[in-house]
């Protein structure tokens, strides 16, 4: 009964459209699946910062439980800071009591996209597609240890060596530093030099009960 209530609560929530243009304003996460050379299936938990486009975590394993998700997110907060919100689909691992309890304990909002609408989680979906095309479809992983090493190296290259047109042709890591520096500057800048009030919106179709942050 408690699990059904948690799922109903998850389905009734929608991801917000606009967020402040700062690192950790919104994280999105999702799983991508593949298999090892021996045929054993494994999955990768990907966490992306929607503003900087950084891959904050890419965690491969043969099993990632709901409690494992909360542990990994807690570790990520210790390393990167606390997100303003988290966006995901309504997968079983992500609508459990363990997730709801974690959100309450850390005072973090968790928003869910509409069922069957992966485009509403477009930032991490785009990242997943790139990982699959460039890495997973091109690599035969000997075992999970091999997968961890190769995936970590690919994620590091993605963050530090890949300029994005949406980030003014900076890498995600460079853009994160640029935005962080802009936030830290004294508030004596002219309106023309002030940083944008919002990040790029989530894909069309995402609904929200929260008022969007106005631009400008």
Residue pair 36/144 in contact by the 8 Å Cβ criterion: yes
- Whole-number Å distance between alpha carbons of 213 and 97: 30
Q: Which of 67, 24, 25 is nearest to 45 (CA)?
A: 67
Give whole-number Cα distances, 92 to 54, 56, 75, 137, 214, in Å: 25, 22, 21, 26, 34
- The beta strands (E) that lie in 36-68 are given as 41-49, 55-61
Model-level pTM? 0.79
Mention every residue, 6+ apart, whose C-beta is less than 8 A from residue 74. Answer: 102, 106
Q: What is the DSSP letter of 81?
A: -
Q: How distant is the alpha carbon of residue 30 from its chain centre? A: 7
- Whole-number Å distance between alpha carbons of 93 and 213: 30
CA dihedral sign, ordered 133, 139, 143, 149: negative
Q: Which of 131, 133, 132, 151 is nearest to 142 (CA)?
A: 151
Length of the chain: 216
Please provide the distance, in angstroms rounded to a whole number, between the alpha carbons at the two ends of the chain.
46
pLDDT along the chain (216 residues), means of 10: 48 54 93 96 97 97 94 96 94 90 95 89 94 97 98 98 93 93 67 46 42 31
Mention every residue, 6+ apart, whose C-beta is less than 8 A from residue 65. Answer: 93
Strand, helix or coil for residue 64? coil
Q: Which domains does the chain have, with CATH numbers?
A: 2-185 (3.30.420.10)
Q: Provide the β-strand partners of residue 58.
A: 46
CA dihedral 80, 67, 10, 85 (to 10 degrees): -10
């Amino acid at each position: 009964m408690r699990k059904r209530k948690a799922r109903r609560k998850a389905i009734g929530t929608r991801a917000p459209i606009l967020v402040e243009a700062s690192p950790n304003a919104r994280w999105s996460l999702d799983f991508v699946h593949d298999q090892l050379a021996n045929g054993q299936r494994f999955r990768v938990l990907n966490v992306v910062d929607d503003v900087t486009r950084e891959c904050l975590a890419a965690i491969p394993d043969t099993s990632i439980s709901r409690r494992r998700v909360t542990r990994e997110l807690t570790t990520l907060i210790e390393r990167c800071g606390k997100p303003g919100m988290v966006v995901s689909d309504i997968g079983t691992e992500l609508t459990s009591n363990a997730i709801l309890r974690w959100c309450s304990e850390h005072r973090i909002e968790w928003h869910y996209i509409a069922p069957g609408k992966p485009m509403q989680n477009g930032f991490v979906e785009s990242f997943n597609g790139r990982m699959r095309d460039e890495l997973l479809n091109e690599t035969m992983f000997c075992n999970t240890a091999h997968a961890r090493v190769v995936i970590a190296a690919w994620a590091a290259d993605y963050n530090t060596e890949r300029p994005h047109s949406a980030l003014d042709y900076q890498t995600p890591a460079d853009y994160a530093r640029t935005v962080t520096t802009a936030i830290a500057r004294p508030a004596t800048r002219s309106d023309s030099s002030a940083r944008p009030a919002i990040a790029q919106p989530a894909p069309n179709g995402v609904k929200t009960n929260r008022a969007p942050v106005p631009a400008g």
